[in-house]
Amino acid sequence: MKKLIALVLLGLVFTVASQKTTVAQTVTDNIYEKENIPGKRPVPFRSLREADILWSKKIWQVIDVRKKMNHPIYYPLQDMDDRRSLISLLIYGIKNEGLTAFGDDEFKSVMTFEEVQRAFDAQAREQQVENAEGELVTEEIEGEFKYEEVTQYEIKEMWYFDRQHSTMRVRILGICPIRTYVDQETGQFRKAKTFWIYFPEVRPLLAHQEVFNRNNDAQRVSFDDLFWQRRFDSYIVQESNVYDNRPITTYMQVVNNLMEANRIQEELFNIEHDLWEY
């Protein structure tokens, strides 16, 4: 009789444990499993021939994520649910996915992850702490990336006129997070470019991460779609030129910077129209 009772109790224990395991596995923050964005592939670039490129120009633009239209690139400041900011995704790619970081916009100088950490002042530090026996020991504290400091992104683009399709097109060549921070020595705000990412290399990673949609959580797009479809607001800061590709800020000041950027934008618009034959 005692053996029978013991077997019954043991069976009840296993039943309760299996029920708890089943419940834990089925708990989700959604009513369906998302498959669209996680399994998405980037739209392949169209093959181009040099003979088809009638005109081209390299343009550098800045995306200010403090603007309302660009908020999906900036938020969330900390990873949450199935969302993460663009800088969080790029850091993850460099650390875990073998994404290459470069120190220049010509993609020649390769940066290590430690150099990326230094660009954010996020390198590991040694600190003296007191252990359980009351003795001071040295421990290494992992550095922390402050995603909120990245308030702008610079993108390098190639604008070109495709003679075969008679259209002006644009491709992003690279993207660079710009960090705004307080200098600990002077107490003043500083702005610095951190690293460059070759855009065609990062596209598969961008295609798997969805971007928040203000109007409909069921119809979100990926980061790759956001850049491909030009769902961001930006302004021109540099164009390829004979003067070592100098930025606008080196020869224009204050409001004239914006006027020069508008002039370059209008020039791109006029070139597209001038290349048409009526």
pLDDT tens digits, one per residue of 98-125:
999 999 999 999 999 999 999 999 887 7
Residue 55 per-residue DSSP state:
E
Q: For residue range 183-199, what is the model confidence (pLDDT) as tens digits?
A: 888 888 899 999 999 99
Q: How confident is the model at residue 12 (pLDDT cuts 50, 70, 90)?
A: low
| Rounded CA separation 51/203 (Å) | 26
For the segment 28-51, the average pLDDT, to the nearest whole number, is: 81
Per-residue b or e along 78-108, where b marks 16 or more CB atoms closer than 10 Å to that residue's CB: eeeeebbbbbbbbbebbeeeebebbbebebe
On average, the pLDDT of the chain sits at 87
What is the pLDDT, as a whole number, of residue 16? Answer: 55
| Rounded CA separation 14/198 (Å) | 53
What is the pLDDT, as a whole number, of residue 156? Answer: 98
Q: What is the 3-state secondary structure (H, E, C) of 186-197?
A: CCCEEEEECCEE
With a CB cutoff of 8 Å and minimum separation 6, the contacts of 19 are none
| Rounded CA separation 152/176 (Å) | 9
* Radius of gyration over every alpha carbon of the chain, rounded to an integer in angstroms: 26
What is the pLDDT, as a whole number, of residue 22? Answer: 47
Which residue is associated with the tokens 């224009």?
252
Q: Does residue 69 register a pLDDT over 70?
A: yes
Look up the pTM and report it. Answer: 0.83
| Rounded CA separation 42/143 (Å) | 33
Q: Does residue 81 register a pLDDT over 90?
A: no
